[in-house]
Amino acid sequence: MKTVYNAAHAAHAATHEIFRGRLVPAFEIPARADYILQAVQGAGLGEVLAPVDHGRAPLERVHTPRYLRFVEGAHAEWQAAGGEGDAFPAVWPVRTLRSDVEPESFAGRMGLYSMDSGTPLTAGSWAAAYAGAQASLTALDLVLAGQRSAYCLTRPPGHHAGADFFGGYCFINNAAVAAQAARDAGLARVAILDVDYHHGNGTQAIFYDRADVFFASVHGDPRTEYPFFLGHADETGSGAGAGFNANFPLPPGVANEDWFAALEQALTRLAAYRPELLIVSLGVDTYGGDPISHFKFDQPEFRALGRRLAAFGAPTLFLQEGGYATEAIGHNVVAVLQGFEAA
């Protein structure tokens, strides 16, 4: 399996984040990708490639141009206004407040284009996220050219980013960008399976009213887990997309066999859809030692996940999402990919 590696990820290097109202050392750090790259190379999984720049147009098929412009220039604007270090939002247009008018104030626009206070916007956020989207498109190219699978190694992750907002450490939704590019390349049906501990709210929202991209997610129950306000089982799509969204929320500490039972339900739905491409939002924060998650996977479960995804039988694109037990993340990712390859 070939890996497309976004070396520009290191430009996004936050030192701290706001977690549950407290300022703490950042969980989403460059070492995450460094450990994965070491593990991938050590396992001899295959060639590691650099991304090819596909330009801005594929991103604008998913994200609004004004949102992309904001993220691109936000940190420079923050500094020009006297800000120091990383920028954080402080106010949001919640219920009864308007979001259709873009404020002139930087603080107002930070709130307009964000969903939480825990995602630092750094000097390198745009460069890292843009290159990550290009890496996802390059990995997609490999699969569209006939490779059975490919893996996109990038950070920051993407699945919490919506069409016009960032959050959950995510700025550009790589899974959505790749799915839309696959559709634009002529594929009629694309499936996205999100196995991150946290629900991919951004991906769901982008495709919620569409029948050409089926989104399924197995994740921590949003009644207790981030992102809290999306990911419930009764969210099944709307309009043309009715029936093409499937959520399988699970309680903290759920038994591994129950997680795999939910995965089987998700794959049954996807199999009936008959996708021409399976995109896997590969979060390994289901690991039992993850500092911000509450499932109990270890390497045997990650290998089993890889084997099961291989048995699904569709061309498969793996995109890196979460996983914050930094020193274990590489072994966990490789376990999934080796399981897939061995099957």
Tens-place pLDDT, residues 280-334 = 999 999 999 999 999 999 999 999 999 999 999 999 999 999 999 999 999 999 9
- Confirm whether 96 is domain-assigned: no
Domain that holds residue 155: 2-53+128-342
Sign of CA dihedral 3, 42, 131, 90: positive
Tell me the catalytic residues: 160
Instruction: Give residue 143's pLDDT.
Output: 98
Please say whether the beta carbons of 288 and 295 come within 8 A: yes
Quote the pLDDT of residue 193.
99
Domain count for the chain, please give it.
1
pLDDT on residue 287: 98
pTM of the model: 0.98
β-pair partners for 319 = 152, 281
- Return the pLDDT at 213: 98
Its sign, for the CA torsion 219, 124, 118, 207, is negative
**How far is 67 from 202, CA to CA, in rounded Å?**
14
**Whether 203 contacts 163, CB under 8 Å:** no
pLDDT band per the 50, 70, 90 thresholds, residue 3: very high
pLDDT range class, residue 113, cuts 50, 70, 90? very high
Query: Which residues touch 38 (CB under 8 Å, ≥6 apart)?
Result: 330
Tokens for 260, please give them.
């795999």
Q: Which residues lie below 8 Å from residue 303, measured CB to CB, with a gap of 6+?
A: 335, 336, 338, 339, 342
Query: Has residue 33 been placed in a domain?
Result: yes
Q: Is residue 163 in some structural domain?
A: yes
Which residues on adjacent β-strands are paired with residue 24? 17
Q: What is the distance between the alpha carbons of residues 61 and 167, in angstroms, rounded to a whole number?
A: 19
| 139 belongs to a structural domain | yes
Model confidence pLDDT, tens digit, residues 76-96: 999 999 999 999 999 999 999
Query: What's the average model confidence in pLDDT over 56-75?
Result: 98
Domain-embedded: residue 255: yes
19 within a domain of the structure (yes/no): yes
Average pLDDT (242-260) is 98
User: Is 250 in contact with 291 (CB distance < 8 Å)?
Assistant: no
For residue 332, what are the CA distances in angstroms to 153, 297, 299, 326?
13, 9, 6, 10
Cis peptide before 227 (omega within 30 of 0): yes
Residue 90 lies in a domain: no
Closest of 161, 165, 207, 205 to residue 319, by C-alpha: 161
Query: Could you tell me if residue 228 is inside a domain?
Result: yes
Instruction: Give the pairing type, strands 277-282 and 190-194.
Output: parallel
Closest CA relative to residue 66, chosen from 204, 164, 153:
164
For the chain, give me the number of helices (H) and strands (E)?
A: 10, 10
**Mean pLDDT taken over the chain:** 98
The label of the residue with tokens 């959520």 reads 247
pLDDT band at 48 (very low <50, low <70, confident <90, very high): very high
Residue 290 sits in a domain of what CATH number? 3.40.800.20
Task: Identify the helix (H) or strand (E) that includes residue 19.
Answer: strand 16-19
Confidence band for 66, pLDDT divided at 50, 70 and 90: very high
Q: What are phi and psi of 14, to 5 degrees?
A: -75, 145
